[in-house]
Structures are given as C-alpha cells and as structure tokens.
C-alpha cells in the first residue's frame, strides 16, 4: 500500500471485528484514497474514492493498519448491507460497552459520521441508528431482539444479570425481568463444548427453580424461521398475564 492508501468498508469492518453476513465477504480488499488521488487498480483490490468531509482514517495502534475509523467504517456499510438487522448488529458491535475495556466508538460518533455529508445508504443508517444498543454481545442477540420488536413485542433487556435474594444466578442474553422470562441463544459452542453444555444446564436449572421461563433459541430457528421465536416468546408473555 502507498502511504496515502487505507483500508475501508468491508475490509476495515473485518479488521475492527464487526459482525458481517457471509454474503458480503469476498476475496477483494477494500482500499480507499482521498480525492483527487488516483484509485488503486491492483488485482484483488476494490478501490474507493473518499472525501475528507465524510471519511476519517487513522493508524490502528494495535495492528498498525491504516484504515477508516470505526464510526466511518459503520457509515460506509450503509452502502453494502442490505438487511437493516445486519446494519444494526454492526452498529451494536461498534458501541458495545458490555464486558469490553471501551467501545470502539460512541453513539454520538456514529451520528456524526452519518450527518457528515451525502453518502450511499444514509437513510438506512439513520433508521438503523435509532435501534443501536450498547449492551448487545453478538449479532445473533441483536437479530433476536429485533425479531421480537419488529413483531410488536416489548424490547427485552440485553445481557441481564439475574439476582435472586442477593445471589447471582445467571446473566441471560435477553430478558423481560418483570415477567421472569429469559431468552437464550444457543450457538454451536454451547453444543460442542461439554463444559459449556454442563454449565448451561446448571444455569437453566437455577433459573427455573427461581421461577423463570427459559426460552432457548437455535441458529436454525433464529435465522431460518424467526416467527417461531416470536411465537414462543409471545406465548410465554401471555402465560404471565
């Protein structure tokens, strides 16, 4: 790379650790230059012309890579991600404050990136930013939360610490605390790691003994038939009424 070139868009999102759907990841590397520099034409490189008004770049202190800032990277994904849930999940990862030393960027910085000027996908970005939250720990958690709210159900709390009689029982992915309903996403590691599996069983037993309804959601269900998840949660809410 030349000194004036920097990673952007999908490549920068991967470098920042943002969750992306597999469909947008390919072998091409996204490299940007500020106008009026000439776009890179190297094989395997997708060139982008950037404006100093809408794009901010920096040298990552850990990797040493020159790339767009986390806020700018998220704003650039508005031109790439077609499903609003994926854009929100990436935004959640940028502003995440739960169990991380510090967020990659703040909501205010995301807002500033969106408002910095004309860009492709700005309407989607503005709509997505309304739903970005700081406590979501993963893309599936975000997708599950949005599936519920899109169906008209109340927004659950993310990564809720269940404490009964001063004893910490569990931290659940999503929860309706007043109704004692917990929603847990079961990723592959929950099934393939015997120690994790045993830990999960123990957690769920403790929650049920304390009067909680535990709804376990699989990858196939969430990404293939989210209406089934909504139906199960709706039924649980009704049972508490």
**Alpha-carbon distances, residue 128 vs 55, 95, 235 (angstroms):** 19, 13, 28
Residues listed for the chain: 241
| Phi, then psi, of 178 in degrees rounded to 5 | -65, -25
Domain total for the chain? 2
Same domain, 123 and 10: yes
pLDDT digits over 121-139, tens only? 999 999 999 999 999 999 9
Whole-angstrom distance, CA of residue 95 vs CA of residue 109: 9
- Domain with 188 in it: 139-240
Q: Which of 24, 23, 51, 46 is nearest to 119 (CA)?
A: 51
Same domain, 159 and 110: no
**Alpha-carbon distances, residue 193 vs 43, 171, 196, 197 (angstroms):** 41, 19, 5, 6
pLDDT digits over 182-219, tens only? 999 987 655 556 666 677 788 899 999 999 999 999 99
Q: Is residue 39 part of a domain?
A: yes
Q: Is residue 134 part of a domain?
A: no
Task: Mark which of 129, 155, 175 sits at the end of a domain.
Answer: 129
Q: Is residue 63 part of a domain?
A: yes
Amino acid 215: pLDDT: 96
Is the pTM value of this prediction over 0.75?
yes
What is the largest distance, in Å, between two alpha-carbon atoms of the chain? 66
**Helices 139-150 and 226-240 meet at what angle, rounded to 10?**
60
Q: Would you give per-residue pLDDT tens digits along the chain (241 residues)?
A: 899 999 999 999 999 999 999 999 999 999 999 999 999 989 999 999 999 999 999 999 999 999 999 999 999 999 999 999 999 999 999 999 999 999 999 999 999 999 999 999 999 999 999 999 999 999 999 999 999 999 999 999 999 999 988 888 899 999 999 999 999 998 765 555 666 667 778 889 999 999 999 999 999 999 999 999 999 999 999 999 8
Q: Which of 129, 231, 136, 150 is nearest to 185 (CA)?
A: 136
C-beta separation of 30 from 10 below 8 A: yes
Question: Which residues have CB under 8 Å from 1's CB, separation 6+?
Answer: 31, 66
Task: Mark which of 105, 129, 153 sits at the end of a domain.
Answer: 129
Same domain, 108 and 163: no
Same domain, 26 and 109: yes
Whole-angstrom distance, CA of residue 239 vs CA of residue 159: 23
With a pLDDT cut of 70, the percent of the chain lying above it is 95
Tokens of 185: 């996403």
Q: Is residue 115 part of a domain?
A: yes
Same domain, 116 and 193: no
| Phi, then psi, of 145 in degrees rounded to 5 | -60, -45
């Amino acid at each position: 790379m030349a000194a004036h070139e920097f990673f952007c868009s999908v490549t920068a999102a991967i470098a920042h650790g943002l969750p992306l759907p597999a469909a947008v990841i390919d072998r091409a590397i996204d490299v940007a230059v500020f106008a009026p520099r000439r776009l890179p034409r190297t094989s395997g490189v997708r060139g982008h012309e950037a404006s100093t008004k809408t794009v901010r770049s920096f040298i990552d202190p850990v990797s040493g890579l020159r790339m767009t800032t986390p806020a700018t990277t998220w704003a650039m994904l508005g031109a790439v991600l077609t499903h609003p849930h994926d854009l929100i999940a990436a935004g959640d990862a940028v502003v995440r404050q739960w169990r991380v030393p510090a967020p990659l960027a703040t909501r205010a910085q995301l807002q500033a990136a969106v408002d910095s000027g004309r860009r492709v996908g700005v309407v989607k970005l503005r709509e997505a930013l309304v739903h970005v939250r700081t406590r979501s720990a993963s893309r599936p958690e975000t997708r599950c939360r949005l599936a519920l709210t899109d169906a008209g159900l109340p927004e659950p709390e993310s990564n809720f610490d269940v404490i009964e009689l001063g004893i910490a029982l569990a931290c659940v992915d999503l929860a309706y605390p007043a109704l004692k309903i917990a929603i847990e996403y079961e990723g592959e590691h929950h099934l393939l790691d015997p120690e994790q599996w045993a830990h999960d069983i123990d957690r769920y037993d403790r929650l049920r003994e304390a009067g909680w309804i535990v709804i376990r959601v699989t990858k196939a269900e969430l990404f293939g038939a989210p209406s089934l998840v909504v139906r199960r949660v709706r039924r649980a809410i009704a049972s508490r009424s």
